[in-house]
Amino acid sequence: MINNPILISRTQPQSRPIGIFDSGVGGLTVLRELYKQLPSESIIYFADTARLPYGTRSADEIVQFGFEILSWMVRQEVKMVVMACNTSSALALETLRSEFDIPILGLILPGARAAVHQGRRVGVIATPATAASNAYRNAILEVEPTAQVWQVGCPEFVPLVEQNRLCEPYTKAIARQYLEPLLAAQIDTLVYGCTHYPHLEPILREILPPDVKLVDPA
């Protein structure tokens, strides 16, 4: 069952739109970058807020949700789809690519490439499903075998971001807890392994040493 898509229409109705989806507001961080780089494209943004969070779902569920959303997007005649969701990119990208005829872009490989551009001691904060999938570790090591990767699942972040509790002391305390093992590992680079997390940049920056680079796969 698909609920309440948010439709954003831009100029040039003659060109087919690009579809973007996420479980909620996370994909807006990808939409922002897309607008910057391709300002004249039409875009359909789908937020699956009825079934959020994705990060504690099974791979079968994530594939099923992706299948339903992409089927709907195809009916809207999109020319391509950007999965603005790391959890879907980690668990469903390959399966969905084999089932649909349009280009489908994910976030993991671009994120991995950007990360090794910045450093070799790479921390990844992600949803529990993305962290458990090892998608980032595998992609980073494929691009740069000498890199070291530490991944942390952060189950509380997505609900906190969706509730707009971005700067509360509680959110900061949770962030400290999640970043602790990464700080202990002396990472030089931190990847936002979930599109919701760039919304937390102000508090993450307060906790991280200034020389740690933040990488946004968007």
Q: Which is nearer to ligand DGL, 2 or 186 (CB)?
A: 2
* CA distance to 19, 50, 180, per residue, from 47 (Å): 11, 8, 31
Give the nearest distance from C-beta 15 to ligand DGL in angstroms: 27
Catalytic residues: 85, 194
- Find all residues with CB under 8 Å of 84, minimum gap 6, and list them: 20, 21, 22, 26, 27, 29, 30, 31, 107, 195, 218
Nearer to ligand DGL by C-beta: 147 or 200? 200
- Shortest Å distance, C-beta 13 to ligand DGL: 29
Q: Are 217 and 185 in contact, with CB atoms under 8 Å apart?
A: no
**Which C-beta is closer to ligand DGL: that of 43 or that of 85?**
85
Min CB(89)–ligand DGL separation in Å: 8
Query: Measured from the CB of residue 166, what is the shortest distance to ligand DGL in angstroms?
Result: 15
Q: By the criterion CB under 6 A, which residues form the site for ligand DGL?
A: 22-23, 26, 52-55, 85-87, 127, 130, 158, 194-196
Rounded to whole angstroms, how far apart are CA atoms 188 and 86? 21
C-beta of 23 vs 171, nearer to ligand DGL: 23
Question: What tokens were used for 53?
Answer: 């969070």
State the minimum distance, in angstroms, from the CB of residue 197 to ligand DGL: 8
Instruction: Return the number of the residue (87 or 151) whose C-beta is nearest ligand DGL.
Output: 87
